Amino acid sequence: GRASPPLAALSQVLRLERSRRTGIVFPLQKLERCLAPGTDTAQFRLFQPGLAALQRAEALFRSDRGHPIDYVSSAVRMDHAPPPALPEVCFIGRSNVGKSSLIRALFSLAPEVEVRVSKTPGHTKKMNFFKVGKYFTLVDMPGYGYRAPQDFVEMVEAYLQERRNLKRTFLLVDGVVGLQKTDNIAVEMLEEFGIPYVMVLTKIDRASRGVLLKNVLEIQEFVKENTQGCFPQLFLVSSVEFSGVHLLRCFVAHATGNLPTIQAS
């Protein structure tokens, strides 16, 4: 298989000097240092795992003979979805938001996993199911566009409403352009069905610090004022630099009940 890219594993990140390490593992905390003193940053640290939890999560995302990580199947309809046997998370977002890149980054320690992209316009978009050993499943949902096609809305709506084992939805938002009108399609669906979700800001390596801060603060305000089901802490990621990827693996492990509450190590 392919070699893992640099910084895909925590062991590589731990060799960096302290400030770069914080930037990779806790990108939001790195950003926090640029805020005016007195700004309320309580939501920046709600989920702040220690090294033991990060390592435990990484082990889940690292495949081996006794712990296979596989693409399972694709479905366009709920009756084609695999049985809801394991806790599940799903990833949703606009086309081009960086969803496939992020899922590839999450699974970079299981290089045999193929994250398929079906971008051909007019081609039916599918839900792709991945199985992580006997621990959880991860679903790559079709991306939505400026005009969300009806079949997309129907497919995603049915999934969100019916999937009993769905533990958390990860809503991806472009870190460069921030929350867009089309993202409201997803927000409204999640809010209407009362589905717990988290917002993930992608491509943070491409945003200047100022733009990133503006987008983070705007989205936090939006979440506070307009949502019930959204976790107040944003997750920032770069699939190129691996920032936030280790923390996101840890949150997925937590959300699927695979992170025993670990006390300070």
Among 55, 100, 256, 258, binds ligand GDP (CB under 6 A): 100
Residue 80 is classified by DSSP as G
d(CA 259, CA 152): 33
Nearest CA-CA partner of 254 in 172, 135, 100, 160 = 135
What are the residues facing 37 on neighbouring strands? none
Helix (H) or strand (E) holding 170: strand 166-174
Please tell me the count of residues contacting ligand GDP according to CB under 6 A.
17
Instruction: Write the single-letter amino acid at 125.
Output: K
Nearer to ligand GDP among residue 102 and residue 252 (C-beta)? 102
Nearer to ligand GDP among residue 68 and residue 111 (C-beta)? 111
Nearer to ligand GDP among residue 128 and residue 233 (C-beta)? 128
* Buried-state track 79-94, b at ≥16 Cβ within 10 A, e below 16: eebeeeebbbbbbbbb
Give the x-and-dash track for 232-251 against ligand GDP (CB under 6 A). ------xxx-----------
Among 96, 124, 161, 180, binds ligand GDP (CB under 6 A): 96
Q: Does 98 bind ligand GDP (CB under 6 A)?
A: yes
Give the x-and-dash track for 9-38 against ligand GDP (CB under 6 A). ------------------------------
Q: What is the four-CA torsion angle of 83, 87, 93, 98, rounded to 10 degrees?
A: -110
CB atoms closer than 10 angstroms to residue 105 = 26
Residue 45 phi, psi dihedral angles, 5° rounding: -130, 25
Residues numbered 138 to 197 that lie near ligand GDP (CB under 6 A) are 143
Judge whether 104 and 153 are in contact, CB under 8 Å: no
Q: Does 205 bind ligand GDP (CB under 6 A)?
A: yes
Nearer to ligand GDP among residue 87 and residue 178 (C-beta)? 178
d(CA 80, CA 167): 20
Least distance from ligand GDP to the Cβ atom of residue 94, Å: 7
d(CA 122, CA 95): 13
Nearer to ligand GDP among residue 67 and residue 206 (C-beta)? 206
Nearer to ligand GDP among residue 88 and residue 241 (C-beta)? 241
Least distance from ligand GDP to the Cβ atom of residue 138, Å: 14
Where do contacts with ligand GDP occur on this chain (CB under 6 A)? Answer: 93, 95-101, 117, 143, 202-203, 205-206, 238-240
